[in-house]
Amino acid sequence: MKRYYIVYEGIVQGVGFRWRLIQIARKKQLTGYVRNCDNGNVECEAQGEKVDEFLKESLENDRFAKVFNYSLREMPLNKEEKEFTVRF
């Protein structure tokens, strides 16, 4: 099991990107969070067995969202977390 802190850059706010990340994370049974940043980026922490699959799928562009760049850092596990949520 791994936990990643990911920052997505591109057209990722106001286009349903956070909602898509929530759907992917829940499908893969991950925990963590996603939130918009003040600078137009989206950040998330995702944890679970299928976090690498989550990352790959999250980088696929759709009709509206376009990820131009991302950064990734492995984090310590959070064993208290129970779900994947949106933070504000």
The β-bridge relationship of strands 31-36 and 42-48 is antiparallel
* 41 noted as active-site residue: no
Catalytic residue among 20, 36, 39, 69: 36
Catalytic residue among 3, 18, 41, 78: 18
Task: Report the C-alpha gap between 2 and 76 in whole angstroms.
Answer: 8
Residue 63: C-alpha distances to residues 15, 48, 49, 51, 72 (Å): 9, 28, 28, 23, 24
* 18 noted as active-site residue: yes
Catalytic residues: 18, 36
